[in-house]
Amino acid sequence: MSAAKRPDTLVVIPTFNEAENIADILPAVLRALPCEVLVVDDDSPDGTGGLAVRLFENEPRVHVIVRKGRPKGLGPSYVDGFLYALDAGFAFVVQMDADFSHEPAALPGLRKAAEGADLVIGSRWVKGGQAGGWKLPRRTISRGGSWYARTVLGLRVRDVTSGFKCWRAGVLENMNLSSIRSVGFAFQIEMNYRAHRGGLRIVEVPIRFSDRTRGVSKMSMRIFLEGLASVWRIRGSR
């Protein structure tokens, strides 16, 4: 970085086979928010990590980790990203997807809300939130899954599985990140539960969630059901 003041926010974007999106999502994030961006690539077969390095080698606000030979999955990728943020001294850490399902335009709202909270969740299921283009069966499954998880875990969060979040970095230091076991999207549930059990200030802000237009979704019914089954393990980890 130059002598200019460094941004206080790091946006962590985990990737796996997102070569079709990486060239566009990073500039969109940097335009939307004064921040730096960390790509945490799970050694994508399509070369996402290497592509990010080549495309942004002259952009000091973009950093790339390629996770070769490490445990794979969303959870371990985010843990690596959080540890990077803490080591670098960022004050706020944002989680978001690489496929534009989380709209970069919503970043300023999440970041602003974090000034009065420890965890801000971009929610599809609060007033004003949207799941763009979803048909009734998919909406029912997603909302039902959130209801199930928050009922079992005693959470007040409406969108338990949202992956669009902003954390106050200081609270992550006290969450024993190395003990997190969730690998897939259950990572989002486990982190919400830990935040709840730790008495953190949690707020939800409405977002519009849009389906990807490029690349292949990593979500499947099997993964969804495995995530819900892990709720009881998460509850027992208290």
CA 214, CA 59: separation in Å to the nearest integer? 24
Q: Which domain CATH number covers 53?
A: 3.90.550.10
Spatial CA neighbour of 95 closest among 37, 56, 180: 37
Spatial CA neighbour of 44 closest among 12, 68, 75, 63: 68
User: Per the domain annotation, does 202 fall within a domain?
Assistant: yes
pTM of the model: 0.91
User: Per the domain annotation, does 14 fall within a domain?
Assistant: yes
User: Per the domain annotation, does 85 fall within a domain?
Assistant: yes
pLDDT given for residue 112 in this prediction: 98
Q: How much is the average pLDDT of 5-21?
A: 96
User: Per the domain annotation, does 119 fall within a domain?
Assistant: yes
CA 91, CA 236: separation in Å to the nearest integer? 31
User: Per the domain annotation, does 2 fall within a domain?
Assistant: no
CA 33, CA 21: separation in Å to the nearest integer? 19
Residue 136, pLDDT > 60, answer yes
φ, ψ of residue 206 in degrees (nearest 5): -70, 140
**pLDDT tens for residues 26-49?**
999 999 999 999 999 999 999 999
Higher pLDDT, 6 or 143: 6
User: Per the domain annotation, does 1 fall within a domain?
Assistant: no
User: Per the domain annotation, does 37 fall within a domain?
Assistant: yes
CA 26, CA 120: separation in Å to the nearest integer? 21
- Beta strand 92-95 pairing with 130-132: unpaired
pLDDT given for residue 2 in this prediction: 47
Secondary structure of residue 203 in the 3-state scheme: strand
Quote the percentage of the chain above a pLDDT of 70. 91
The CA dihedral of 195, 79, 33, 129, to the nearest 10 degrees, is -50
Residue 218, pLDDT > 80, answer no
Secondary structure of residue 13 in the 3-state scheme: strand
The total number of structural domains in the chain stands at 1
| Look-up of token digits 């943020």 | 85
**pLDDT tens for residues 148-166?**
889 999 999 999 999 999 9
**pLDDT tens for residues 189-206?**
999 999 999 999 999 999
* Residues of the domain holding 53: 9-236
